[in-house]
Amino acid sequence: MFWNEKIETIDRADLNKLQLEKLKKALEAAASTPFYKKLFNDNGVDVSKVTTLEHLKDLPFTTKHDLRLSYPDGMVAVPRTDIVRLHASSGTTGKSTVIFYTWKDLSDWADLIARSMMATGTTKDDVFQNMMGYGLFTGGLGLHYGAERLGCLVIPSSTGNSLKQMELMKDFSTTVIHITPSYAMHLVEVIKENGVNPHDLSVKKAYLGAEPYSEGVKKKIEEQWGLEAYNSYGLSEMNGPGVAFECVHKNGMHLWEDFYIMEIINPETGENLPDGEEGELVLTHINRAAMPIIRYRTRDLTRIMPEKCACGRTHRRIERIKGRTDDMLIVGGVNVFPSQIETVLMNVPEVGNNYQIVLDRHNNLDRIHVRVELYSKMFEGDIKALDALKKKIVERLKALITVNPKIEFLEPGSLPPSTGKAVRVIDKREI
Amino acid sequence: MPQQVSVFAENRPGKIDRLTAVLEKNNINIRAITISDSGDYGIIKLLLDKPVEGCNALKEEGIAATLKSIVAVKVSDRPGGLHKASSVLARNDINVEDAYGFTIRESDLAVFVFQVKDAQKTEKILREEGFTVLNDNELYYL
């Protein structure tokens, strides 16, 4: 089943031609933005000289740091009046990474999602319950509009409130869910506790995303729910979800090459690697007018699977994401950098410079513990003052990283000394 | 004005042992001890014969400790004894934040020790009402 058979099964030669045309346009648009104008100038890049796809690898990379530097709109290539939406993810130093979209960008994105969903066999007859966060995060709204484009009945139930989720599933015969793997594991337990056999529900498919998980967890979710789970890949810099999606054969994710040019590089040297070799995924967005991004370093490790897929789609697949080349943590679907937590702690005068971040899972939900040593200078002698300090730290962290950490005070000297490469993050979660 | 030492301690075995070892080594006597628990951690409050030395000794060992002013009032060791003092506090709208009491050997007196926002004002009110408020040395060497 195809949403757009012509483009999904396009001949490779024609696809390359299309990519080159779109790349030229994207480069021209990028060169008009303050950020890329300077980047191209500094690196002696003349975009009019890019005449083959091969030339792309001579262009400089774009990083998350660049996106922060160009905050709020240094990479915008269209007049402000043409922009109809923005999405944002939290940034390492307090500034967010913001992505802008024109009406057509959003419409094209919805199309891409509809294409992805249909590749898994979902049609307009399906009832789609979207249990991802709505808001600045791209996961909720991204799939929402794509499912509407496809013609599904969309239930925008967002995150949390498990009993309500269950009720909606039962009352409206939900057939497809979009959910983080950790919440899927949690929700299925709630359903069982309420005397419902998950296999009796009409849910047949789950789109898992927003956080890393193993094939083992995926299998477990499939068994416990009695459904087929599909891996999806996306990042807000490249729109959000729908960059790559598994088809019904569930063997790697088709990366939609009419929207994105993918490269795999050696993360240390920046050199391009041949298809099939594992490295860092680099993406160029060639289908977004408001904000073209050239050679974006995703920090995600994967490899390209160049073999033909039995589904007939010619867009190459990438393997499930193996890990990251930076220290980014994903907690309950939210991206968190340890440096963000450190910035907050260092700005609370009572707190020493020794801290530790511990991640674990309770009832299948991610928890983040921030362990801080308590010194005499910050100790006022009673529980009330400690509770107030705790609250202050939690509120500041919540404001910056939107997750709710548990603060633990420790006696001085409990943590390894902060010199050198102290292990600041302990991840006890089983992936 | 008397003071007691507040100590931060994780809620784990061996935490009191660590404190008492430091105090013993420094020849400091404990007159009273209370522990309040807040789940993961607790606050140990110590009434010491030498609170300043005791607090410094604990800090030198890397323990989070601080001095807090307290009010110590004598009450009679019979039914209604504490009630007389607490009535005065209530009438004067003084909130007791943290307290304990003990009796004195071979006498009919008891001591009520507590923390309040304004210790000086509280002492003055109690004195005006005819109570005996203990000063540091009176309390430490009862």
> What is the per-residue DSSP string for A193-253?
HTT--GGGS---EEEE-SS---HHHHHHHHHHHTSEEEEEEEEGGGTEEEEEEE-TT-SSE
What is the per-residue pLDDT across A255-290, written as a single tens digit (0 to 9) for each?
999 999 999 999 999 999 999 999 999 999 999 999
Residues of B whose CB is below 8 A from A382? 6, 43, 68, 97-98, 115
pLDDT at position A94: 55
Q: Cis omega before residue A72 (within 30°)?
A: yes
pLDDT tops 80 at residue A416: no
B8 and A411 within 8 Å at the Cβ level: the answer is yes
Could you tell me the two tokens for A52?
């083959």
Q: Which residues of A touch B117 (CB under 8 A)?
A: none
Min Cα separation A92/chain B (Å): 30
Mutate to test the interface with B, among A356, A383, A387 (most CBs of B within 10 A): A383
Which residues in B lie closer than 8 A to residue A417 (C-beta atoms)?
none
Question: Which residues in chain B have Cβ-Cβ distances shorter than 8 Å to A413?
Answer: 62
B8/A379 touch (CB, cutoff 8 Å), yes or no: yes
Report the C-alpha gap between A156 and A130 in whole angstroms: 5
At residue A422, does pLDDT exceed 60?
no
What does the pLDDT read at residue A354?
A: 72
pLDDT digits (tens, 9 = 90+) for A229-258: 999 999 999 999 999 999 999 999 999 999
Q: Is the distance from CB of A378 to CB of A352 less than 8 angstroms?
A: yes
- Interchain proximity B36–A383, CB inside 8 Å: yes
Q: What is the pLDDT of residue A92?
A: 46
User: Residue B13 in 3-state DSSP?
Assistant: coil
Beta bridge partners of A233: A244
What's the mean pLDDT in A14-21? 97
Give me the residues paired with residue B100 across strands. Answer: B113
- The answer to whether B68 contacts A381, with C-beta atoms less than 8 Å apart, is yes
* pLDDT grade for A420, boundaries at 50, 70 and 90: very low
Inter-chain contact A414–B10, Cβ cutoff 8 Å? yes
Task: Specify which residues B9 forms β-bridges with.
Answer: B42
**B98 CB within 8 Å of a chain A CB:** yes
Q: Using CA atoms, how far apart are residues A109 and A145, in angstroms rounded to an integer? A: 8
Choice between A297 and A213, residue whose per-residue pLDDT is larger: A297
Residues 6+ apart with CB under 8 A from A131: A157, A158, A159, A165, A177, A178, A179, A180, A183, A187
Chosen from B12, B66, B70, B117 to mutate, greatest number of chain A CBs within 10 A: B66
Residues of A in contact with B41 (CB under 8 A): 386, 409
Q: What is the pLDDT of residue B14?
A: 84
Question: For residue A250, which of A114, A118, A120 has the smallest C-alpha distance?
Answer: A120
- Residue B40: closest C-alpha in chain A: A408
B80: closest CA of chain A, how far (Å)? 29
Give pLDDT, residue A397: 85
**Cβ-nearest to B66 among A376, A409, A413:** A376
Q: Which amino acid belongs to residue A192?
A: K
Interface test with A, best of B8, B10, B38, B96 (most A CBs within 10 A): B8
B4: nearest CA partner in chain A: A381
Residue of B nearest to A408 (CA): B40
Q: Extract the residue ranges of chain B whose pLDDT is less than 70.
A: 106
Q: What is the pLDDT of residue B106?
A: 67
Q: Give Cβ neighbours of residue B14 (< 8 Å, ≥ 6 apart).
A: none
Residue A272 contacts residue A57 (beta carbons within 8 Å): yes
Distance from CA of B74 to the nearest CA of A (A): 24
Q: What is the DSSP string of B42-95?
A: EEEEEEESSHHHHHHHHHHTT--EEEEE-EEEEEESSTTHHHHHHHHHHHTTPP
Q: In the predicted model, is pLDDT for residue A334 greater than 60?
A: yes
Q: How many other C-beta atoms can be found within 10 angstroms of the C-beta atom of residue A94?
A: 13
Consecutive H or E run containing A255? strand A253-255
Model confidence pLDDT, tens digit, residues A129-186: 999 999 998 999 999 999 999 999 999 999 889 999 999 999 999 999 999 888 898 8
Residues of A contacting chain B (CB within 8 angstroms): 374-376, 378-384, 386-387, 408-414
Q: Do B6 and A381 touch (CB under 8 A)?
A: yes
Average confidence score pLDDT of chain A:
90
Closest Cα of chain B to A239: distance in Å?
Answer: 43
State which residue of chain B sits closest to A374, comparing Cα positions.
Answer: B64
Query: Residue A99 pairs with which residues in a beta bridge?
Result: A87
Alpha carbon A23 to its chain centroid, in Å, reads 24
Nearest CB to A375 within list B6, B41, B64: B64
pTM, entire model: 0.72
The closest CB to that of A411, out of B36, B64, B98, belongs to B64
Contact B110, B101 (CB under 8 A): yes
The more confidently predicted of residues B137 and A203 is A203
Q: Would you state the torsion angle of the CA atoms of residues A155, A156, A161, A166, taken in this order, to the nearest 10 degrees?
A: 10
* Residues of chain B contacting residue A378, judged by C-beta atoms under 8 Å apart: 64
Contact check, Cβ <8 Å, A379/B65: yes
- Model confidence at A28, pLDDT cuts 50, 70, 90, reads very high
The per-residue DSSP string of A352-413 comes to -S-EEEEEEEETTEEEEEEEEE--GGG--SSHHHHHHHHHHHHHHHHHHH-S-PEEEEE-TT
Residue A44: the pLDDT is 94
CB contact under 8 A, B38 and A387: yes
Among residues B70, B74, B26, B10, the alpha carbon closest in space to that of B46 is found at B70
